[in-house]
Amino acid sequence: MKVLNIVLNGKAVTAKMGQTILELAREHNVFIPTLCDSPALEAAAMCRLCTVQVIEGKWPKFVTACNFPLRRDAEVVTDSPEVRHGRKLIIELLMARCPTSPELQRLAVDYGCDLERFAPLNDDCVVCGLCTRACEAVTGRTLSLAGRGVAIHVDTAFQKASEYCIGCGACVQICPVNKIAMEDVDGERRIILHGKIASRVKLPQCTSCGKHFGPVIDLQQVMERMGEHKIPPPNASVCPECSRRNLAIKLGKRYFEQYGVFEDEEGQANAG
Amino acid sequence: MIEATQVATSPEVNKITSPAGLDIFRKELDSKLDPNAPLLIVCCGTGCQAAGSSEVVDKFREVLSGIGWGGKVIPLVKPTGCHGFCSRGPLVIIEPQDLFYQRVTVDDVEDIVNKTILNNEVIRKLQYKPANSKEVIPRASDIPYYAKQTRLVLKNIGKVDPTEINDSIVRGSYSALAKVLTRMSPDQVIDEVANSKLRGRGGAGFPTGLKWESCAKQEGTRYVICNADEGDPGAFMDRSLLEGDPHSVLEGMAICAYAVGSNRGYMYVRAEYPLAVKTLTAAIRQAEALGLLGDNIMGTGFDFKVTISTGAGAFICGESSALMASLEGKVGRPRPKYIRSVEKGFRDCPSNLNNVETYANIPDIITNGGDWYKSFGTERSSGTKVFALTGNVYNIGLVEVPMGISLMEIVYGIGGGIPNKRSLKGVQTGGPSGGCIPIPHKIPDINVGYGKLAEAGSIMGSGGMIVMDEDTCMIEVARYFVNFLVEESCGQCTPCREGLIRMREILNRITQGDGKEGDVELLDEIGNFTNNFSLCGLGTSAANPVLSTIRFFRDEYDAHIRDKKCPAGVCKPLFHYDIEAETCTGCGLCKTKCPVKAITGEKKKTHVIDQSLCIKCMECYKNCKFRSVKIM
C-alpha cells in the first residue's frame, strides 16, 4: 500500500492511500468538529462543519474532512482563519435554527460566535441527516429527507405516521441535537418528530406479568435486509424481566427443591 | 397532378447494413429532391406553437389540397424546429424564394397561398421590418438577426423536418458516425475532439476531449449520458436542438459511445419539454428502424442503444451526480463524494455526461476536422455558442455566435438594440449561477468566452443571456435569482440552504425599504462563505448573482439602504412618480391610462399625480411620450 506524505497543520505525517482527512486527524489528535459524521454510517458531508483546506496542487481548496480521500501528497490546514470563519458562520446559522443544543452551544463558545446576527428560525432540527441515514441502514423505510429546496426537513412518507417503523430508536439515539423523542405509552412506542407522532409501534404484552415491553423488532425485515431468509423470528411473548425470573425459578426448582428450600409461589413458576 | 417530391419513410424500410449503404441511401433520396420545388417551411418550435403554428400548418395543408393544381407541383408544407426568432412567431419561410413571413396567423394562410404561391405576389404586412426602419427585408438570409449569426450547431434547425429521419439524412446526418465506424479508431476520435478544443457547453467548460479520454481509460461497463435537463430561467437552447435536430445529438452520442467504448446511452430530458421528448422518441425509433442506432449499427457490429428518461422538474438534477442519482431512480440530490463521474457515475460505473449542445457539435467536428472547428472562436474558447437572448431587447430568440464575439455586438447587432428609447444597463449571463455584466457603463465591452466572462464575475453557463435596460433594479434581479435557488437548491448542505435563506431575507428587507447599514457587508460575507463551503456546483455558485451585483452596482445597494430610494423605480416602497412641470405638455395620455384615476390636470396644463391613490403600476411612466413622468 502506498504511503502518502501529508503536512497536517505544519506537521509532517504519513497517511494511507484513500484515508479520509478526518481519520488522519483523529489518528494524530487533531480536533475537527463534526455534526453529521458517524463512524457507523457512510459520510454525507451535509453539515460542512468539518471543512478544511487542502493544497494538492497550487491553490488551496475547501473540502470536507469526513469524506475527502487522500490520494496524493498534500498539505492540510484544519484551522486556518478562513476555515474558522466559515465554521463560525455555520454554527451561527445552525444556532438560529436550534438554539438549545448543548453541542452547538459549546461550539459557539469555541468559535466566538455572535448569536445576535441571524434572527431565530425556530426550527428544532439542523438537517444533518443522521437520523435518516441511520434509519435507512436499519429499515430504510421510515424517515427520509422531504420537501423542496430550502424547505427540506426530516419526515415520514406523506407526513403520515409510518407503518414500517420497527421502533428501534436508532434515530433518537443518533440525533446530535436531541430533537427526536421516543416514549412508550398505552401499549405502543411512539417516535416523536417535530412535536408530532412520526410512528407508532405496537408493544407486545407480556403473557406472564401483563406489562408492555418490546418492541418486537420485525426481525423478518431485518434479516431480509441482511440476506438471511430462513431464520424465524424468536418467540417473544414474555418480557425480558419475566423471562429471567422464570428461568431462575425453574433452575431453583431443579436444584434446590430436594432440600425443601424452594416453595412454589402460587403457580408462578409454571407460567414460563 | 404531380405529387410533391416528398421524402417519406415508407413503412417497409430496409435496414442500412453497411456504411456505404448509408451513402447510397442518401444519394437515392437526394436524387428525388428538386431544389426548385416550392416549399413552405413553418416554424413549429414551442414558441411558435404557442402562437398557433400547428393550426397554420393544418390550414396550409387544407387550403393547398383544396386547389386544382393542373400539372403544377404542389408545395410541400414542412413543419420544422425552432428558427430562433421567437419574438416574431409564427414564422413561415417560402422556398425557393427564401421569402420570410412573420407573425402568420390562420387567417393569413389563404392570402399566402393565393397571392404569394399562385401569383408570386409578396404580402407586405407579413414581412419583417427592423425596429426604427420603414424598409422591409424580404429574404430570411438578409435579416441581420440571421445574417450576423454563425450557425454550426443550429445549421439544420429550421431546415429539416425533425419528425422525418430521411430529411436529416439528406442533409448529412449519420455520415460522421459512418466515418467513425469505418475509418477511425476510438483514440483517433478522441484526438480529433481534443484537437477541436471543444469545451463542455453545459456551463463549466470542461474540455470534452479530456473527459472522453479519462472515461475511455476506465474499466468495465461505461455509460454515455446526455444532460438535457435545461433549467435556467429563460434558456431554451437544448430544447430547440432536441426539437429541431434530434439526430445530430443522437449521432454525437453514438460517436462518443464508440470513442469511450460504451454501448448504452441515456438521455435525461426534463419532463417540462413534452415536445422534445416526443420528437426524440420518434427520432430514436426511426434511427433504430434504419439500423443507425441499436444493435449492429450499419452492419459494423457496434451496438448503441439510447433510452430516454424524463426528469421530474428539479433544477438540481442538471448537476451531474444528482442527474445520475435521479436516473438510478433515487432522489435527485448531489452525491457527496470526491470522485468524478467518469470514474464512478451512473450505477457506480464510468459515465460520460455531456450537454446536448456539446454532443450536437461532435458530428461536424468529425466530418470537417478539429482544425476547421478551431477556426471559429478564440484560442481558449473555440467554436460557436448558442445563446438564448432575452430581456429588454428587440429581437428575442436563439442566436448562435462564434466565441469571442463582443457582447455589444450581440445586443445591438443581432438583438437590434434596446426598445422604448431606454439605455442598456447590463447583461446577465449564466442563469442563476452567473452574474451581471455592467456593459457599457462600468465595463465598456467584453468578448464572450469562458475566461473573459469569469473575469467579469459571471460564467458562460448553458447560454442564457438576459439584457437589462435602465429600468431594471439590480437588487431585484439578485433577489429573483436567490428566490429561484431557494426553491431549487437540494437543501442538503448547510451553507447553501442556510445561506440562501439568509440572503433572501436580507434582499427582501432591502427591497422593502428596511435595509440596514452593514447589510451589504453581511451579504458579501454570506455569499463568499456559500461559494466556498457548499457541496455541489449549484451551491458554490449560488451567491454569484448577489456578489456580482454588489461588485458592480454597490451604489444601487447604498441608494436602497441609505437614501431609501430605488433609482430604477422597481421596488415599490422606495420610489414615487412625479410629473415634471417643465416638460409636461398636458396631453392627457397619462390621465386616460391611469387605472386608478390618480392623475388630474386640465388639457395643456401640467398634470399632477395624487400619491395617496397611485399604485405605481408604471402605466403613466411607460406611456408618456415626453418622458415627463419621473421616478423620484
* pLDDT at B11 (0 to 100): 46
Q: In angstroms, what separates the C-alpha of B373 from chain A's closest C-alpha?
A: 32
B501 touching chain A per CB within 8 A = yes
**B627 pLDDT exceeds 90?**
no
User: ∠ at Cα A139 (A137, A141), nearest 5°?
Assistant: 110
Mutate to test the interface with B, among A148, A152, A153 (most CBs of B within 10 A): A148
Look at chain B and report how many structural domains it folds into: 5
**A124 pLDDT exceeds 90?**
no
Q: Which of B96, B87, B1, B97 shows the shortest CA–CA distance to B43?
A: B87
Digit-coded pLDDT (tens) for B507-543: 999 999 999 999 999 999 999 999 999 999 999 999 9
CB contact (8 A) between residue B505 and residue A90: no
The pLDDT-based confidence of A231 (bands split at 50, 70, 90) is low
Displacement of CA A174 from its chain's centroid (Å): 2
**B228 pLDDT exceeds 80?**
yes
**B288 pLDDT exceeds 80?**
yes
CB contact (8 A) between residue A90 and residue B490: no
CB contact (8 A) between residue B493 and residue A90: no
Tell me the mean pLDDT in the region B186-195. 96
* pLDDT at A216 (0 to 100): 66
* pLDDT at A270 (0 to 100): 44
| Percent of chain B surpassing pLDDT 70 | 98
Q: How many CB atoms lie within 10 A of CB A268?
A: 14
Answer yes or no: do B237 and B317 share one domain.
yes
**A269 pLDDT exceeds 60?**
no
Task: Give me the half-sphere count of Cα atoms (radius 13 Å) on the Cβ side of residue B510.
Answer: 30
Confirm if B398 and B454 have CB atoms less than 8 A apart: no
Digit-coded pLDDT (tens) for B562-574: 999 999 989 988 9
Answer yes or no: do B366 and B281 share one domain.
yes
Digit-coded pLDDT (tens) for A80-108: 999 999 999 999 999 999 898 898 999 99
Contacts of B116 (CB under 8 A, 6+ apart): B94, B99, B122, B123
Q: Are strands A60-64 and A3-8 parallel, antiparallel or unpaired?
A: unpaired
Contact list in A for residue B489 (CB cut-off 8 A) is 149-150
| DSSP label of A179 | -
A82 touching chain B per CB within 8 A = yes
* pLDDT at A220 (0 to 100): 66
The residues spanned by each domain of chain A are 3-110, 135-202
CB contact (8 A) between residue B491 and residue A145: yes
C-alpha grid cell for residue B291?
439500423
Q: In angstroms, what separates the C-alpha of B337 from chain A's closest C-alpha?
A: 7
- Domain-ending residue, one of B341, B374, B407: B374
* pLDDT at A91 (0 to 100): 95
The pLDDT-based confidence of A252 (bands split at 50, 70, 90) is confident
Interface A:B, Cβ pairs < 8 A? 91
What is the residue-wise DSSP string for B65-119? HTS--TTSBPPEEEEES--S-GGGPSPEEEETTTEEE-S--GGGHHHIIIIIIHH
Cross-strand partners of B386: B400
B529 touching chain A per CB within 8 A = yes
Q: Are strands A3-8 and A74-77 parallel, antiparallel or unpaired?
A: parallel
Digit-coded pLDDT (tens) for A155-188: 998 888 888 888 888 999 999 888 899 998 888 8
Residue B4 within any structural domain of the chain: no
Nearest to A63 among B338, B485, B493 (CB): B338
* pLDDT at B84 (0 to 100): 87
Contact list in B for residue A97 (CB cut-off 8 A) is 498
- Domain-ending residue, one of B140, B174, B195: B140
Answer yes or no: do B581 and B514 share one domain.
no
Nearest to A67 among B337, B489, B534 (CB): B337
Digit-coded pLDDT (tens) for B97-141: 889 999 999 999 999 988 988 888 899 999 998 877 888 899 988
Side chain identity, residue B385: K
CB contact (8 A) between residue A152 and residue B487: no
Nearest to B494 among A68, A93, A148 (CB): A93
Confirm if B394 and B143 have CB atoms less than 8 A apart: no
CATH of residue B479: 1.20.1440.230
Q: In angstroms, what separates the C-alpha of A196 from chain B's closest C-alpha?
A: 22
* pLDDT at B479 (0 to 100): 95
Q: Bigger pLDDT: A154 or A217?
A: A154
CB contact (8 A) between residue B494 and residue A68: no
Answer yes or no: do B276 and B354 share one domain.
yes
The whole-angstrom separation of Cα A183 and Cα A84 is 39
What's the length of chain A? Answer: 272
The whole-angstrom separation of Cα B283 and Cα B247 is 7
Side chain identity, residue B152: L
Min mean pLDDT across B70-84, B160-174, B241-255 is at B70-84
Q: Which range of residues forms the domain containing residue B98?
A: 34-140
CATH of residue B618: 3.30.70.20
The whole-angstrom separation of Cα B189 and Cα B551 is 43
CB contact (8 A) between residue B498 and residue A94: yes
Residue of A nearest to B499 (CA): A93
The whole-angstrom separation of Cα A237 and Cα A204 is 7
Q: In angstroms, what separates the C-alpha of A134 from chain B's closest C-alpha?
A: 16
**A230 pLDDT exceeds 80?**
no
C-alpha grid cell for residue A256?
434446590
**A267 pLDDT exceeds 50?**
no
* pLDDT at B478 (0 to 100): 95
Contact list in A for residue B498 (CB cut-off 8 A) is 90, 93-94, 96-97, 150
Answer yes or no: do B465 and B478 share one domain.
no
**B220 pLDDT exceeds 70?**
yes
B336 touching chain A per CB within 8 A = yes
Answer yes or no: do B232 and B348 share one domain.
yes
- Domain-ending residue, one of B374, B408, B423: B374
**A272 pLDDT exceeds 70?**
no
The whole-angstrom separation of Cα B404 and Cα B382 is 9
Displacement of CA A264 from its chain's centroid (Å): 46
Digit-coded pLDDT (tens) for B329-345: 999 999 988 899 999 99
Contact list in A for residue B526 (CB cut-off 8 A) is 89
Backbone angles phi, psi at A146, to 5 degrees: -120, 170
Q: What's the predicted TM-score (pTM) here?
A: 0.89
Nearest to A150 among B500, B526, B535 (CB): B500
Q: In angstroms, what separates the C-alpha of B526 from chain A's closest C-alpha?
A: 8
Residue B13 within any structural domain of the chain: no
The pLDDT-based confidence of B37 (bands split at 50, 70, 90) is confident
Tell me the mean pLDDT in the region A221-226. 68
Nearest to A149 among B331, B487, B532 (CB): B487
Q: In Å, what is the CA distance from B164 to each residue of B22, B55, B605?
A: 16, 20, 65
Digit-coded pLDDT (tens) for B575-603: 889 898 888 888 888 889 999 999 988 88
The whole-angstrom separation of Cα B153 and Cα A155 is 46
Answer yes or no: do B294 and B329 share one domain.
yes
CB contact (8 A) between residue B338 and residue A67: yes
A118 touching chain B per CB within 8 A = yes
Does domain A3-110 correspond to CATH entry 3.10.20.740? yes
Contact list in B for residue A93 (CB cut-off 8 A) is 494, 498-499, 502
Q: Which of B197, B481, B436 shows the shortest CA–CA distance to B315?
A: B481
* pLDDT at A122 (0 to 100): 76
Answer yes or no: do B300 and B410 share one domain.
no
The whole-angstrom separation of Cα B369 and Cα B442 is 40
Residue B171 within any structural domain of the chain: yes
Answer yes or no: do B226 and B305 share one domain.
yes
* pLDDT at A205 (0 to 100): 85
CB contact (8 A) between residue A48 and residue B494: yes
- Asked if ipTM goes beyond 0.90, one says no
The whole-angstrom separation of Cα A265 and Cα A242 is 14
* pLDDT at B152 (0 to 100): 93
**B12 pLDDT exceeds 90?**
no
* pLDDT at A262 (0 to 100): 63
Q: How many CB atoms lie within 10 A of CB B229?
A: 30
Q: In angstroms, what separates the C-alpha of B148 from chain A's closest C-alpha?
A: 41
**B368 pLDDT exceeds 90?**
yes
Digit-coded pLDDT (tens) for B15-29: 899 999 999 999 999
Contact list in A for residue B518 (CB cut-off 8 A) is none
Residue of A nearest to B519 (CA): A117
Cross-strand partners of B424: B469
Q: In Å, what is the CA distance from B559 to each residue of A244, B104, B570?
A: 77, 46, 13
Q: In angstroms, what separates the C-alpha of A224 from chain B's closest C-alpha?
A: 21
Nearest to B532 among A46, A62, A129 (CB): A62
Nearest to A86 among B492, B505, B532 (CB): B532
